[in-house]
């Protein structure tokens, strides 16, 4: 299963780890580090369909669901038809 949000379609990204000591001495860069989303596996009930759906969603996606409603958000994301 892909490590991406079903709602926001965001994936992991590569961020540079750079310490303050490195900035001070301009020596020995620390390299890259992969950073992951705060993904949760959630079972949400869709009243319009009268059934539950299990989705892998980020914390930001959960806030979007709470704001816009379950059915409209999942429909817009293409999870529910």
Give the residue from 56, 57, 50 showing the smallest Cα distance to 71: 50
- 65 in a structural domain: yes
Q: Which domain holds residue 66?
A: 37-81
- 71 in a structural domain: yes
Residue 62 · residue 38 · CB < 8 Å:
no
Give tens-digit pLDDT for 6-62: 999 999 999 877 777 767 776 666 678 889 999 999 999 999 999 999 999 999 999
pLDDT computed for residue 58 by the predictor = 95
**80 band by pLDDT with thresholds 50, 70 and 90:** confident
Residue 68 · residue 13 · CB < 8 Å:
no
Residue 77 · residue 60 · CB < 8 Å:
no
CA distances from 33 to 12, 46, 55, 81 (A): 10, 37, 27, 37
- 80 in a structural domain: yes
- 68 in a structural domain: yes
Q: What is the CATH number of the domain that holds 78?
A: 2.30.170.40
Interstrand relation of 39-46 and 51-58 (parallel, antiparallel or unpaired)? antiparallel
pLDDT computed for residue 31 by the predictor = 73
């Amino acid at each position: 299963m892909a490590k991406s949000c079903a709602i926001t379609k965001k994936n992991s990204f590569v961020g540079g780890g750079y310490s303050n000591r490195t900035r001070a001495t301009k020596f020995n860069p620390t390299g890259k580090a992969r950073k992951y989303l705060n993904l949760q596996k959630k079972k949400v009930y869709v009243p319009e369909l009268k059934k539950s759906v299990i989705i892998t969603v980020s914390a930001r996606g959960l806030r979007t669901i709470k704001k816009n409603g379950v059915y409209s958000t999942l429909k817009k994301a293409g999870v529910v038809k």
